[in-house]
Amino acid sequence: RAENYGSQIQHSSIHRDNYKAKNLNHTIMEFVTLENCDFSEACATGSIFRHCKFIDCNIDQTDFEFCEFYDCEFLAKQPINCSFNNSGFYNTIFTNIKFLCCTFTGCVFHKCYWDRGNIVNSTLEGAIFRQCTFHKNPSAKFFTNYAEGYLYYN
């Protein structure tokens, strides 16, 4: 399925769209709000997201490997289970997020803000957290049953 491969989406508000199992590789989204969208089993490898909001989206078994997230925001009621290997998160806000059984191998989190969330039973090998803020959940309680090997700089 290549109907969305390499797409560019800007200045949009998208509600309840179905991206389930779609090929979103190398997509560029800028200033996009995605609310209640289904990204389950989608593949978005190598995509770039700038100033995007993911609000209560289904992000189950999604492939976000080698992606870049700049000034984005994630808000969710249900756990997120996917792969973010080798992705970068810069000035990204995570609110009420529970990452469950995710892979973050080689990820960089720079100046990210975490509000009421955690990472559980996930792989963090080689992940780097630089100048991140953990509000209402200190970093010591943030990482639960993780694979060792991440670096945390504050």
Predicted local confidence at residue 1, as pLDDT? 34
Q: What is the pLDDT of residue 49?
A: 97
Q: Quick check: 126 and 146 in contact, CB under 8 A?
A: no
Predicted pLDDT at 2: 38
**Residue keyed to tokens 């000034």:** 71
Q: What pLDDT does residue 41 have?
A: 96
Q: Report the C-alpha gap between 73 and 32 in whole angstroms.
A: 11
Instruction: Note down pLDDT in tens along the chain; length 154 residues.
Output: 335 656 888 888 888 899 999 999 999 999 999 999 999 999 999 999 999 999 999 999 999 999 999 999 999 988 999 999 999 999 999 999 889 999 999 999 999 998 888 888 888 899 999 998 887 655 555 665 454 555 555 5
Look at residue 147 in the predicted model and tell me its pLDDT: 47
- For the chain, report the end-to-end CA distance as a whole number of angstroms: 42
Containing H/E element for 98? Answer: strand 98-100
Q: What pLDDT score does 153 carry?
A: 56
Which of 24, 25, 28 has its CA nearest to residue 46?
25
- In contact, 11 and 31? CB cutoff 8 Å: yes
Using CA atoms, how far apart are residues 152 and 154, in angstroms rounded to an integer?
Answer: 7
91: left (phi over 0), alpha (psi -120 to 50) or beta: left
- pLDDT value at residue 144: 55
